[in-house]
Amino acid sequence: MDKIRARMDRFEPALSSRKWGLDGAGQHACCHAVLLENGMAQISLRHGAIRLAGPALIWLPAGEGRVCEIEAGARGYVMSMPDDVVAKSLGGHFLPDHAGQGTGHHRGLRFVADTVHGLHLADHQQDFEQARLICGVMAAEIRANRHMGETVLAAQLIALLAILARLAEGWMTRGQHDGARPDGGSVTLHRFLQVLEIHFRDHWNVGDYARALGTSERRLALATVRATGKPPLQLIHDRVLHEACLRLEQSPQAVAQVAYGLGFRDPAYFNRFFKRYLGLAPGAWRRQKRAGQIRDDTSFAAWP
């Protein structure tokens, strides 16, 4: 019986950080998944890096990941699976693209597997529990290497990618204004949103994103305006403001700490930036939000 060509490492809380090499030099090109139950993880990519606090689910297509560093005290799983095994597992599996309802358009799970995902699961407890169960089943199958183990592994992989697709789709479609023109088939838009999720704290300009995507600023602008009615810079600002509102509402951090966490070197500039778009300084917005005077003020982002 051939050994299953996949690896699943379980990491428990430790006193020091741990690292996994992900580039697979001299080996089959591998896709990687990281389920972070708690703690912090930082993953260096071909372009940029992802830093997330658990619970979170990260997916890296073959060739995208470089190093995964799990900080002390974290718990979760790191999976590596050759891309040809992923392709074989996903052959023929599709799911509806709800952004194109009524058009008959479908997007394959292969598309999901070819995209970088870094998703917070704090507000998705059921999906988090399912992902944890899936990783546990995959780890057990890889250890046991029993008959039909690859079939069981393929089924679990499909379930994991379906969860990713559901979460990513909800993130990309929530909060749209009436009149926006979603374009679920725009590969440029999807790639831009993924890179934006990684780099919005780095305060990249539109040219930086265009270079990372291998396209021109004009083509990037055409893709975002056609799909959302907004130019790239507005989407960049929307993403920063959306995160700022979440942190102001949900964390006890001082406004200055929120500003630094979002990559602002000067809290005063963060205050001006926030007030320019929302009409209130961050501290005043937080007080009104907690007093119930602001019911749903994150819809401004019209996040595509």
pTM over 0.85: no
Query: How much is the pLDDT for 74?
Result: 95
Query: How much is the pLDDT for 25?
Result: 44
| CB of 241 closer than 8 Å to CB of 233 | no
Element (H, E) at 283: helix 282-290
Distance CA 92, CA 292 (A): 48
Kindly list the distances between the CA atom of residue 70 and the CA atoms of 10, 117, 127, 240, in Å, as whole numbers in the listed order: 12, 17, 22, 25
Q: Could you tell me the domains of the chain? A: 7-173 (2.60.120), 187-301 (1.10.10.60)
Provide the CA 113 distance to its chain's centre, in angstroms: 12
| CB of 83 closer than 8 Å to CB of 30 | yes
| CB of 86 closer than 8 Å to CB of 32 | no
Query: How much is the pLDDT for 291?
Result: 84
Q: Is 251 left (phi over 0), alpha (psi -120 to 50) or beta?
A: beta
| CB of 264 closer than 8 Å to CB of 245 | no
Query: How much is the pLDDT for 143?
Result: 92
Element (H, E) at 171: helix 149-173
Distance CA 142, CA 7 (A): 7
Distance CA 304, CA 301 (A): 8
Distance CA 230, CA 222 (A): 9
How would you write the pLDDT of the chain (304 residues) with one tens digit per residue? Answer: 567 789 999 999 999 999 988 875 445 688 999 999 999 998 887 766 788 889 999 998 888 888 999 999 999 999 999 988 888 888 755 444 433 333 333 345 777 787 778 888 988 999 999 999 999 999 999 999 888 888 999 999 999 999 988 886 655 444 333 333 333 335 778 788 888 888 888 899 999 998 888 788 888 888 888 878 889 999 999 999 999 998 998 888 899 999 999 999 999 999 999 999 889 999 999 999 888 876 654 444 444 4
Unique residue bearing structure tokens 């979002």: 262
Distance between first and last Cα of the chain:
47
